[in-house]
A and B are shown apart, each in its own frame.
Chain A
Amino acid sequence: MISEADLAAIWLTLKLATTVTILLLLIGTPIAWWLARTRSWWKGPVGAVVALPLVLPPTVLGFYLLVAMGPNGFVGELTQSLGLGTLPFTFWGLVVGSLFYSLPFVVQPIQNAMEALGQRPLEVAATLRAGPWDRFFTVVLPLARPGFVTAAVLGFAHTVGEFGVVLMIGGNIPGETRVVSVQIYDHVEALEYAQAHVLAGGMLAFSFFVLLGLYGFQRKYPAWGLR
């Protein structure tokens, strides 16, 4: 039923989604914190840039990333000068693309949770002698935890489901960039409907149960959903 190529694609997809989710939680948390706290004029523009992948066709995002990371792009020149070669058509190129693609799905739930906190718990902690870092780790993180759970689930699921960006900057290299969504496409192109059904059905079930679990979780913590 499931071929070795299918298993490789599933394994690669899980590896990609896990890597991206972990990196996005690290990158997205300070961005979300800044967006939730700042009164700067830059809040609007930065928030819009973060949200762009929600509305852009993945091909547009993929196209620009391909150009930027290519041998003549500024990212490409940087990676070459560091001796890393170029990123397109590699696993790490996919990771970079997915970071952009899934960014809003991670930043927004965390930002919402942090905004819902308000100023008060932080003021209380300050009157109890907690400094800024102390306040962040002992008050903000635990109180915003539902936001982090939502962010991790959405970031992971969304990365699993990406196709356009992968195709643009990753291509279709077995074991390197051929994720499940691309593998399904290949099966269909080759008229291997039975194998396509197995993978597509698996994705459908996976997505459904992820969202079911998430909505159940959000019913418990209503204030922390996606915008």
Chain B
Amino acid sequence: MGFALVSTTAGCPVNGGASDLQAQFRLRHPGAHSSTFTLDVDLTLPGKGITAIFGHSGSGKTTLLRCVAGLERPEQGRLTVNGETWQDKGLFLPTHRRPLGYVFQESSLFPHLTAQGNLDYATARCRAACSKSLYDQVIALMGIEGILHRHPAQLSGGERQRVSIARALLIQPRLLLMDEPLASLDFARKQEILPYLEKLKSTFDMPILYVSHSLDEVARLADQVVLLEQGRAIAQGAAAELFSRIDLPWPSGNEFGVVWQGEVVERNEQWHLARLVCQGSELWVRDAGEALGQQVRVRILARDVSLALACHEDSSILNRLPVTVEDIAPDRDDAMALVRLRAGSNHVIARITYRSIDHLQLLPGKQLWAQIKSVAIVR
């Protein structure tokens, strides 16, 4: 299904990894109240797949993306994308000379053009000819055939964002930048667009930088995650690996959880359940129609994991895994702790109270049972 986009030539070929993205920026922004925000990052990111840039608001995610796009001019910057230098000492490609696509947070469609006109704006300026098949594919992928004649004001928020994404794809970018494309949408609209983003990822093989402050989106979409805090990248790694760390300043509360990769090995028609094998651990999940042998990504939220010293067969909990305590870290909530447990070759994290930790006398190395109340297939 995947196919390569026709490459356009911009920038100068140089040394550096031919298939990665190297970004080093230093930028000082005078902020309000005489505070100064400084972005200071030096990243090497994979040249394909979705890399999520995750952090709280104000952590510098958008500024970083704008630096990559050339919309900000950092005091010091170096940027190489898959072997082409876009920025270095004495070199600064202006935004319109960088072969990138950008999806802004809020609707950025030109109000004086129809949806079709907005798409044509991109195809007219794309260096490579836009083949009919690519055009049709993008339109179909985003499901916007029926609304092309409308003006942006006549479109819903979700439709506008889908047209924006299609427009960014039609410029045939070598790098796609998405700045919280779902943030301005309500929950229902988000659910409407997420599947399009997942399809996008499996259809096009350009690298995507995806800025978000939603753990849910990141867990669903990202291959790689960069965690930004106060303008610095404090952690980076594969999504599954990063989400099994409890020493990072994750947002507190309900959204945090580990991500597992698994394969569907059995479908039980009687109970509408599917059995997954995730690197040795078995899980039962609701059968959402995945085919046998299909790779899926599941998410186990820390709040859905409880711990017991014995294996209770007499509970409604479907998934019970033997686990070993690895370490314990404080949650942002004073009453709560995050307990990281090893289950086979995976990690699972439980968010429980300190009182329970004391009651169960949890210490690293202790063996017990994790009861998982719910497991969500995220893809």
Contact = CB atoms under 8 A, between A and B. Distances in A.
Q: Are both chains from one complex?
A: yes
Interface of A: 120-121, 123-131, 134-135, 138-139, 142-143
A128 B171 contact: yes
A143 B108 CA distance: 13
B126 A127 contact: no
A130 B96 contact: yes
Contact of A129 (B69, B111, B126): B126
B110 A124 contact: yes
A120 B96 contact: no
21 contacts: A120-B104, A120-B108, A123-B71, A123-B102, A125-B110, A125-B121, A126-B70, A126-B71, A126-B96, A127-B95, A127-B171, A128-B96, A128-B125, A128-B171, A129-B97, A129-B127, A130-B96, A130-B121, A134-B125, A139-B110, A143-B111
Would you list the 8 A-B pairs with minimal beta carbon distance, nearest first? A127-B102, A126-B95, A129-B125, A124-B108, A126-B96, A142-B112, A129-B96, A131-B96
Interface in B87-103: 94-97, 100-102
Contact of B122 (A121, A128, A134, A135): A128
Nearest to A129: B125
Interface in B47-78: 69-71
A130 B125 contact: yes
Query: Among A120, A129, A142, which residue has the most Cβ atoms of chain B within 10 A?
Result: A129
Nearest to B121: A128
Nearest to B99: A129
Contacts of B94: 126
Contacts of A123: 71, 95, 102, 104
Contacts of A131: 96
Given A123-B95, A138-B121, A128 B111 contact: no
Contacts of B127: 129
Q: Is the interface of A mostly helix, strand, loop or mixed?
A: helix
Contacts of A124: 102, 104, 108, 110
A129 B96 CA distance: 4
| Most chain A CB neighbours (cut-off 10 Å) among B71, B95, B168 | B95
A191 to B, nearest CB: 55
Interface in B153-200: 167-168, 171
A128 B125 CA distance: 7
Given A127-B71, A143-B111, 16 more contacts: A120-B108, A123-B102, A124-B104, A125-B121, A126-B70, A126-B96, A127-B102, A128-B122, A128-B171, A129-B122, A129-B125, A129-B127, A129-B171, A130-B125, A135-B96, A138-B121
Contacts of A143: 110-112
A129 B99 CA distance: 8
Contacts of B125: 128-130, 134
A88 B168 CA distance: 57
B110 to A, nearest CB: 7
Contacts of B97: 129
Nearest to B173: A127
Contacts of B112: 142-143
B101 A127 contact: yes
Contacts of A120: 104, 108
A151 B127 CA distance: 37
A127 B127 CA distance: 13
B157 to A, nearest CB: 16
Given A120-B108, A138-B121, A128 B71 contact: no
A173 B102 CA distance: 61
Nearest to A139: B110
Contacts of B121: 125, 128, 130, 138
A116 B94 CA distance: 24
A138 B110 CA distance: 10
A128 B111 CA distance: 15
A140 B336 CA distance: 54
Nearest to A142: B112
